[in-house]
Structures are given as C-alpha cells and as structure tokens.
Structure 1
Amino acid sequence: MFRTLVSVNTLALLTLVLTGCSSNSVTIIEEQPQLINKETGRFQNMDAGEKSYPLTCKQDCYKPRSDIQCDGNDICQYIGNKKLASQTTDFSVNWLGHAAFVIKTPTGERFLTDPVFNDFDWPINWLFSLDGGEQREMNVEATPELIAVTDAVLYSHLHYDHFNKSDIETIGRKPEYLVPLNVADHFPSIGANITELGWFSSKKIGDSLVTAVPAHHFSSRTFVPFIYEDNNKDSWSAWLIESKGETLFFAGDTGYSEHFKAISERYGDIDVCLLPIASYYSEESPEWYRYVHMTPEDALAAADDLNCKIFIPWGYGNASWGMGDLSSHSPLTRFLNMAEKIGTSAEIVILNEGESL
C-alpha cells in the first residue's frame, strides 16, 4: 500500500511506502490535528460528554398520518406534497435508500455516499439474520450506469450499514474514494485511489471542493460490536461539498451536539442538508442510542443550527434495516408530526427511495 501524508500546516509532503499486498494508493490530508482522547489514544467527538437536548417528543410522536401509506407487503410510501415552495438549488440529489445518495453538483461532478447495495458484509449479514434483525424490504442496486458516472465515493464511517467491502469490489477503481482517517486500511486490494481526510481538510474533485467536517458518532469494525479493542481506532466524518457558490452537507450517522453550530460558524448557511432521523430508539439503552443518532426533533434542531435552506431527511424507509426503530417509517412519522408542531426555517423535502430533488 502506498500512503502519502499531506500536512498543510507544515507544507511538507511525506511519502511512505509500506510493505504489504495492497495495491491501493492512499493520500492523507490532515490540515489540523484531529481530536484524540489523551487517555485512550483513540479518536473522539468534538463535543464529547453528557448532553442536553433542545426538545424531546413525549406525546403523539407516532400519531398515524394519511400522507404515509403502506401496502400488504409492508412497503410504505410518502404520498404528501413533494414540491419546493420557494427554495431552489443547482444540486441534483437522488436518494437510493438508507444513507446512499447520488449527488450531482452544479459543476457536474457526481458523488456517491455510503453505498451498501444489498446486505452487510459477511458474517454480519448472517449474524444479523440469526438474531432476528429486520431485513431490507427493498435492495439498492449497483448498476453499471451508476458506477460509470461516479467521480468519487464518500464514506462517513466504517459501520456495516455504511461501508461494505464487497460493494467496493463491485464499484472498482474508477472513482476516487474519500474517507475519514485510518479507514483506507479496511479497503480490499483493488488498486483504488483513496484519500483520507481529517476534519476541516479538503480536496478538489473536478471543480467541486469536498471537505471532511465533524460528526458526533463512533467507530468499530468487529464481528462482536462495541468491543473496546476496536472502538474509535478509525475516524468518522460528515461531508461538505461546495460547488459554484452552493453548499451541500451530508451528515453521515451523528448524534445532536454543538458541532453543527461550529460547522455553520465556519462555512455559513448550507443550501442543501442531508440529515439522518432514524436509529435513535432502543428500550435497552435509549440514552446511548440518542447520543450517537439523532431523533427527528434533534434533526430539526440541527437544520436550524446549520441554517439549512433545503432539508432532506434520511435513514427511514424500505431500504433501511430497521435497526433501533419501531418500523420502517416510524422515524418519518415522528419527524412529520414534530415538524408540524415546532416548525423549521428550512424547506423540507421528503423523498421515497429512488426519488430525486
């Protein structure tokens, strides 16, 4: 594996040739040191520690809605108004399902976020099935046409529902891969061109600028989830894409914290925000789940912190796995109920899988 370390602070370029069988080319861009826990030596969140949240839904959270309809096969669709009332953007956004988006920038670059096309890597897909976990009602397909037009793939973190090695082999070496720090070591050996970016570090893809920014989450990649030896050895990120004076923010998995305000203070109002609203529910550990995933009302607060003009929620739906949620569309039900109750300055756009902004 070939790894290049780019330090903007020192303007030094250091190329390290490491022995091993991998043929991937890896560049590291870390414009400022990322936060490390002094006791553990692992990556940590910007706003670590106990949390207080602006609002928590306690009544009528899942009141049934006429604008969400399900058929006899548990395939649900949002049938409400999908038109933008006032805001416009030159970004094109197609939601494939879960965290996977196809993003076309105003200058024509195409990005793919967190693609997991069918199921988790083995053996997690098998273990998940044995445990009785929810399976996808719909799969996301990796078409040759999609791969052919993709300029870069953005991964937010290593969890199995966001990062799939077999899908990387399917996508192949044509697109560039932008990932958080230390994630390149988990790639299969396909001759990929990989760039690891620390928080607030950037890379140009065509005429678009892509910047890694903080998320409030964690990292692990083991057969037995959450064991300490693997926790937070690899980083996690959100992504900001700037093109022709417009910005798009993809949050990755994240809990609500002060990092949203820090991003807004640094980069200004965001034109299009892709924010998660699911996987916050757990009877066993409700506080921990919310610490690393946003409730729908947390996402509404985050949209206001970011001064989003257009807000597209994700994480619910037929192409998600139902992890930590009541049903495929319960997060969307709660989101719409809370949006009506508390409001937001952002223009909300609700998509079904396969639909586009």
Structure 2
Amino acid sequence: MKKYENQIPTSMKMGFKSLLSMAKDSVTGVADQRPTAAISVKSFKQDKTPSISDSPRVTWFGHSAFYVEIEGKRLLVDPMFGSRPSPFSWAGTKRYERKSSVNPEHFSELDAIILSHDHYDHLDHDSIVKLQNKTKRFIVPLGVRQRLIKWGVPKEKITEHGWWDELQFEGLKLVCTPARHFSGRGLFDRNSTLWCSWVISGMETKIFYSGDSGYGPHFKEIGVSYGPFDLTLMECGQYDERWSAIHMQPEETVQAHLDVRGSVLIPVHWGAFTLAFHSWTDPVERVTKAALAHDVTISTPEMGQSIRVHAENYPARAWWR
C-alpha cells in the first residue's frame, strides 16, 4: 500500500505521558466544550445559477464546509453535513445543533465538490451519496478517488491530484497545494491517501483554503507561488500542544494567513463540533485577538451567512458570545 508523507518531519506518535494526560482530560472534561444554548444559524438556500459577472461569494456552514460562487461556477468544499464525524451513527462527538445550516437537499446543482482529505469530519459518506447526482465533477487529492468510486460516484466524474498539480476547470485555475497533516478512515489505512490545501483562482479573485494542517514552511511557498489572496479560509480549531504538528494553534492560523499573503481571513474548522480539549469558543476568541494584534482583517460570519469576497465591510460580530 502506498504511503504519503509530509514535506517535513511530522511526529504523530504519543508517548505514555501524553496518553496518560489525555486519559485524565477525557475523565475531567473541559469547561464549555459545547454551547449551553442553541446557536443562531442562517438558513441557506442555493440561489439561481450565478452569472459570470456576479460578485464572488463564500458561505461557511460550520467546521470546514463552505460554498464558493465564483465567475458563474458553484463549488462546494469538504461538505460534511452529517450529525457525527464518525464511522458510526451512534458513537462519536455530536454536532452542536441537530441540523447543519444546510443539507444536501438545499443544493440543486453543483459544478464541483472539492475535498481536502478523507477524515470523517471532511469526507462524509451520506453527504457525498446525496450530492453525487447533483454534482458535475469531484476534485480530490490522490487516493480519495477510489473511496468515492466505492460509494457509487461514477469514476469519470472524479479527478485526483498531487501537490502542486494545476488544473483548469471551466475557466477557473485550481491548484492542489501541500498541507501538513495525515489521512485514514480506519485502523490500517493511515496515510494511504493524500491530504492537501487548495488554491481557487479566477480572473479577478483568488481564494486559499488551508485544509487541515499544522504550521509549516509550505504556507510561505504557496504565498510566493500563488499569492496574494483576496480571501483565506484557514484551519482554526481542534488543536492541542500534544498534536501541534498536525493542527495549528490560532496564533499560527494568523501567521499562516500572513505567509500566504492573504487579505481577509475566515477561520474555519470550528463552530460545529469540538474534537479536542478546548472550549468551543477558544479558537475564535484567540484567532480574533491575534488578528487584531497583527492588523489582519478577519471575518466571522454566522454559519450559513454569505459574504461578498470584494466587499467594503465583512461580518465580524461576536455572535458566539
């Protein structure tokens, strides 16, 4: 079985001391790991087919799922709309809200679904099955194509790509770029598929999505090769010092945004599940503080709220409070 590796050494082995501390944290719990009241989300409904002249829009749905309308194309990224990021419907962390701000039924047609890697909180079986007949193309990192074929997605609909692969997609330029993470959906398939970040580039708009990633030199490399970016959607959540090589701390999220030469930052990978030992609001509180310290424009839309990429002002209300 082919195994993929990160660009730089990335340890994911945890010693006895770390495992013991995790067991203790699991027993004692973390304050405010879930919201104590219902979260207000915006109800999403896909509009008519966007025109090539329409201003590009991005809609975040919680965690890392988001929708991009750019130059007449409709792209859905990491559509995890299930209730649990788990191989079992009855076990694992539950979504904060019973339902996402969107579900597959809200989409009539998609030009492409783009995936960053195969973990359950990014690649959801039920969501893919329900969306496959509405989607013209699936664009995925190496190895993930075979997973989709097993789920019934026609192989001719799927293209898979390695790091630094550039592809032209109906007038857009997409680039599969590196991330510092790992992959696998079972006990024996770790790193058998690739993980990545993505560049989405149109004639007048460039967007960067970090995927899941620890901090590393790849961000500056991407910034040099493809920046600056009008908007970045950067991982911010599910971190811990014990696995800091594969998930950024919020302060690193801001630095990564600066490294890729981003203009406006939207923190993602939070807001739907807590998969680590921190409060559910810790990611957004820390990243907004770090953004302010570095004079970075940060936008914190509510889940389901669409924003214009080239707007004069961006939603920044602390709705989680």
Q: TM-score range by the shorter chain?
A: 0.7 to 0.9
After superposition, the C-alpha distances for 1:103-144 in whole angstroms (9 at most, x for unaligned) are 011x1111001011122476434231xxxx354225223243
> Which residue identity does 2:299 align to in structure 1?
V
Structure 2 partner of 1:351: 301
Structure 2 partner of 1:256: 215
User: Which of 264, 273, 297 does residue 310 from structure 1 map onto?
Assistant: 264
Q: Percent identity?
A: 29
Structure 1's unaligned 5+ residue stretches are 1-39, 51-69, 78-88
> Which residue identity does 2:281 align to in structure 1?
H
Structure 1 partner of 2:190: 231
1:69-148 matches, within 5 Å, as 73-75=37-39, 90-105=55-70, 107-120=71-84, 123-128=87-92, 133-140=93-100, 141-146=102-107, 148=108
1:186 paired to 2:137: no
After superposition, the C-alpha distances for 1:121-170 in whole angstroms (9 at most, x for unaligned) are 76434231xxxx35422522324342x23110001001001001221110
After superposition, the C-alpha distances for 1:154-209 in whole angstroms (9 at most, x for unaligned) are 01001001001221110023421000001111110132511001111122222111
Separation in structure 2 between the aligned mates of residue 233 and residue 190 of structure 1, nearest angstrom: 20
Separation in structure 2 between the aligned mates of residue 134 and residue 173 of structure 1, nearest angstrom: 27
Structure 2's unaligned 5+ residue stretches are 12-33, 42-53, 308-321
> Which residue identity does 1:212 align to in structure 2?
C
> Which residue identity does 2:7 align to in structure 1?
M
- Contact 2:104 2:127 (8 Å CA) reproduced: no
1:326 deviation in Å? 2.2
1:195 paired to 2:159: yes
Structure 1 partner of 2:317: none
Structure 1 partner of 2:206: 247
Aligned CA RMSD, in angstroms, stands at 2.4
Separation in structure 2 between the aligned mates of residue 122 and residue 238 of structure 1, nearest angstrom: 22
Instruction: Specify whether residues 209 and 138 from structure 1 end up closer, same or farther in structure 2 by C-alpha distance, changes over 3 A only.
Output: farther
Instruction: Specify whether residues 49 and 145 from structure 1 end up closer, same or farther in structure 2 by C-alpha distance, changes over 3 A only.
Output: closer
User: Which of 213, 218, 234 does residue 275 from structure 1 map onto?
Assistant: 234
1:170 paired to 2:134: no
- Contact 2:35 2:96 (8 Å CA) reproduced: no
Separation in structure 2 between the aligned mates of residue 71 and residue 200 of structure 1, nearest angstrom: 39
1:287 paired to 2:242: yes
TM-score in terms of structure 2 length: 0.77
> Which residue identity does 1:291 align to in structure 2?
A
